[in-house]
Structure 1
C-alpha cells in the first residue's frame, strides 16, 4: 500500500467538527410512504457516460441512509455512477420493507464506480469518514438500526489495507472523541435498491428529509471539498 497518500489528519479533524455532530438524521420511513406509491415513475440513477469503462473501479460504503451517501459521492469529480443498494446480510433479494425491519443483516450502502486516475480510493475514504459519524454503532442521528451501520465493504486486499490503515491513523490522531466503530469487511453480494431510491436527492430536493438532512451535508461538502467537486455541482 502506498502510504504517501495519507490525507491531512489535522484538516480532517476540523472537517469532522463540521460534519459529524451536525448530521443527525430523522427517521425516513415516513418519507418513503408516498415515494413507494410513486415507484412506478422509475426515477433511475443518472449515469455519466463520458468515462471509459476500461479503467473504472468500485468502492462500496455504508454510512447511514443511502440517499445521503449517494448525494455526497455523486458530486465528486472522477465518480462515474453511484448506485444505492443493500449488502452485508443473509437475506437474498431483500426489499426495502424487509431492510427496514433490521432483521436481514444488510446495510444500506452506495456502490461507487470511479476513475482512479481522477479520484483515488484514499480520497473516497477521506470523504467517507468526513461526511458521517463513524463512532455511533448501528445508527446515524435518529436513523437507528443495523441497516444504518458505518461500513467499508472492500472489493480487494488493497482497499482493505487502506481502510484499516486510515482507521488506525484516525484513532491514533484522536480525530474523533469516541472510538471508531466502522466495520471493514469483504463485499458480499450487492443488491441494487428499488428504482425510486436511485438518484433520490436529485429527484426530490424539496422532500422534507432531503431538504433538512441531505441538503446541509451537500452544502458542507461544497465548502470543505471544493476542489473535488464536478463543475456542475460546484456552484
Structure 2
C-alpha cells in the first residue's frame, strides 16, 4: 500500500513539474499584446514550436524563401531559459524556432501551412516519443492579420480531418536563442541516432508532401 501511495505521489509531482504554467500565467501570456518585429533588409521573422527544435529547424530550412532558422525557446513565463531549465517543465517555454524569411518569395500563410503539414497536429504535449510541455505545439502571431490566418487554417483543418488541433496560439513576446550546440544540429550531426531515426524521417515525410516549395541543391548551397 505504501509503495502504491509513493508511486502516486511521484506521478503527481512529475505531472505538476511538467505542466507548462499555471492558469494565471497562461492567461497573462495569451492575452498579452503581441510584439511585432519589423522587416529588416527585406527579411521577416516568425516563430513556431512543434516538438524537438532539431527536427523543426531542418524542415523550415528546406523551404524556398527561408534564409535562416535558429533554435531557441519561447512561450513561457521565465527569463533566460536554458535547455536544462525548459526540460523541467517549470519555465512554460517550448522548444521554438525563429524563421527568417524573404516575404517576396514566401508568405506567412504558406509558412503556417508548412507548420501544420510537418507535424502530428492532434498530439498534445509532444511530438512522437518526445513528450512534455517543452515539446508542445505553439504557433505565434505578431499582429491581428497573422492571428486570423492561423485561426482560419486551424479551424479549416480541424473540420476537414475531424480532429482536435493541439497547437496553442500565442501572441509573440520574446524569443530566447538556444545554446550554440543546438544550432544546425541535424546538419552538423548527420550520424546521430536521433537524427537518423527521428529527424530525417520527419523531414522526408514533409518533403514528400511539399515538393513544390523546396529549395534546390544549388539554393541550399
| TM bracket, shorter-chain basis | 0.7 to 0.9
CA-atom RMSD, angstroms?
Answer: 1.8
Alignment of 1:165-176 (within 5 A): 165-173=152-160, 175=161
Return the alpha-carbon distance in structure 2 between the equivalents of residues 94 and 208 of structure 1: 26
**What is the match of residue 162 of structure 1?**
149
**What is the match of residue 132 of structure 2?**
145
Query: For this pair of structures, how many residues does the alignment match?
Result: 182
Q: Runs in 1 of length 4+ with deviation above 4 angstroms?
A: none
Return the alpha-carbon distance in structure 1 between the equivalents of residues 218 and 180 of structure 2: 23
Distance 1:234-1:226 versus aligned 2 partners, 3 A rule: farther
Could you say which structure has the greater relative contact order, defined with CA pairs below 8 angstroms and 6 or more residues apart? 1
Unaligned runs of 5+ in 2: 1-38
How much has 1:178 moved relative to structure 2?
2.9
TM-score by length of 2: 0.78
Q: Does 1:200 align with 2:185?
A: yes
Distance 1:233-1:142 versus aligned 2 partners, 3 A rule: farther
CA contact (8 A) 2:51 2:126 kept: yes
Query: Which of residues 195, 204, 215 in structure 1 aligns to 2:200?
Result: 215
* Larger gyration radius, structure 1 or structure 2: 2
CA contact (8 A) 1:76 1:230 kept: yes
How much has 1:233 moved relative to structure 2?
7.8
Return the alpha-carbon distance in structure 1 between the equivalents of residues 142 and 54 of structure 2: 22
Q: Does 1:125 align with 2:151?
A: no
How much has 1:54 moved relative to structure 2?
2.3
CA contact (8 A) 1:58 1:155 kept: no
Unaligned runs of 5+ in 1: 1-51
Query: Which of residues 82, 86, 94 in structure 1 aligns to 2:73?
Result: 86
| 1:134-172 Cα distance to aligned partner (Å, 9 max, x none) | 211111111111111111011222111100110011122
| 1:98-120 Cα distance to aligned partner (Å, 9 max, x none) | 11111110010011011111111
Query: Which of residues 93, 98, 102 in structure 2 aligns to 1:106?
Result: 93
